[in-house]
Amino acid sequence: MEKENKEQRLAGLKRLGRSLIGAGLPALGTAVAGPIGGQVVGGILRGLGLKDGSSISDVERALDTDPDAAVKLKQLEVEVAMAQLDLAGIEEKELTNRLESDNNSDSWLAKNIRPVTLGILTIGYLVYIYSVMFILDGPELETATTFGLQLSMLLGSVTSFYFGSRGFEKISKIKKNDK
């Protein structure tokens, strides 16, 4: 019974998301079905002047009948977008702080974890390429291909992060020295 209610609620949220996107509110429509969907739905209910226990059908009806509903929800969409930008900024700042604390640490591993990880993944990828070219055959090759795709995506992400964060650190260091 509980699983059925969750599935019905998720289906309703998806339907509401599609309605919001159709009404020209893509950020709200996407956010409704996301991890903060309950909070966004609460904001939508308040923005439309509906009670907390209102159904998704009530929201859709309000969107269809109230000419000002889209304007009210557009304001809410801007607030949601600003909150998402603030969260992204906080996340970026926390990552920067963590990288700086790693560099200021006395631990060799903390200072060198990024290049060590990059080196291990690069060696692993080279071993993978060698094994695909000269060792593996048949069904093992198919499994290895899937593994190789995942390994190459991981290696690409780590490489981008390593060189991107190193560049950021160097720029930050230059700016600090200029002051």
- Residues 63, 69 contacting (CB under 8 angstroms): yes
Quick one: 10 and 68 in the same domain? yes
Domain boundary, last residue among 88, 121, 137: 88
pLDDT tens-digit readout, 89-148: 888 888 888 878 877 888 888 888 888 888 999 999 999 888 888 887 777 888 888 888
| Cα–Cα distance, 30 to 14 (Å, whole number) | 9
**Total tally of structural domains belonging to the chain:** 2
Residue 1 pLDDT > 70: no
Quick one: 26 and 51 in the same domain? yes
Quick one: 66 and 110 in the same domain? no
pLDDT tens-digit readout, 151-176: 889 988 888 887 876 666 677 777 77
Residue 37 pLDDT > 90: no
Quick one: 153 and 111 in the same domain? yes
Structural domain span for residue 114: 105-178
Quick one: 71 and 125 in the same domain? no
